[in-house]
Structures are given as structure tokens and as C-alpha cells.
Amino acid sequence: MATDAIIDHSGQLTSLTDSTVERLEEVLPSTASLSNPVDVTGGASPEEFKRSVEIVLDDENTDGILCMHTPLGTMGPVEAAEAIADLKDEAEKPILGCWMGGERVREGKRCFVRTGSLFSQRPNSPLRLTCT
């Protein structure tokens, strides 16, 4: 849905540089998807999630990042939000959030919103705002 929203609003899904992919390989398990969109897998730790976001934000081809979380893996919604909450102040690129799962992700959403970051429970909503 997020990829479709980007394309529907004349945005582009960037190609990550080889250097970025190599850096992601050092951080993530072999089951992770390292192309865009990056999938850290359901077994990712908060630290792996944070490092992945930092690495992608550092990519010269990246203008911003949409971080998504669903309550399917081992990392809870609050842990995921807290892992990247402080990056907003350091990042020179926008960090958008999408925590899907209704009531199960409510506290994670609140944590993310407290940072002042753009947030949605649907992956296409924040993209509409940034692609227009």
C-alpha cells in the first residue's frame, strides 16, 4: 500500500546505494529484505530497527523515510517507537511513522506522536502529505 501511494502521487521509491545495502547486511539478519522497501523482519530488535533507520537516512539517494510497524513480530509497538524517537532531532530528513494494528499499537503511536513526527495508522496517509 505504501509503495502504491508513493507511485500514485508521482513519488519515486529510491534505489539504495550499494554502500547502504552493505551496511544493512552488517546489521540485519540474512532473512531481511535489503532493497527498498527494507524489511527488518519480525525478529528485529529495537537496536537493529534503529540502526537500519539511521543507515537508510544516511543514504544519499534518500529524501526521507516511512517507518512502519505491525504487532506481528517480537518487537512491541512502544519499543519500536522509542527506538527511533530521538532520531527526529538528529535527522536532516523527515521520518514518517505508520503503526498499524489499532488498539494493539496505541501506546507506540502515542510515543511516536510525542516526538512531533508525522504519524498515521494507514501507510498511504502520510505519503499523500509528502508527495503533493
Amino acid 1: pLDDT? 57
* pLDDT at site 50: 94
Q: How many CB atoms lie within 10 A of CB 55?
A: 21
pLDDT tens column, 1-26:
556 556 665 667 788 999 999 999 99
| pLDDT (0 to 100) of residue 91 | 84
Helix (H) or strand (E) holding 92: none
Of 70, 47, 63, 52, nearest in space to 96 by CA: 63
Amino acid at 28: L
What does the pLDDT look like over 51-100, one tens digit per residue? 999 999 999 998 888 888 888 888 899 999 888 888 878 888 888 888 88
SS3 73: coil
Residue scoring higher pLDDT (112 or 9): 112
Asked whether the predicted pLDDT for residue 128 surpasses 50, the reply is no
Q: Count of CB atoms within 10 A of residue 60's CB?
A: 9
In this structure, CATH architecture of domain 2-131:
3-Layer(aba) Sandwich (3.40)
- pTM score over 0.85: no
Band of the pLDDT at 32, cuts 50, 70, 90? very high
The residue extents of the domains of the chain are 2-131
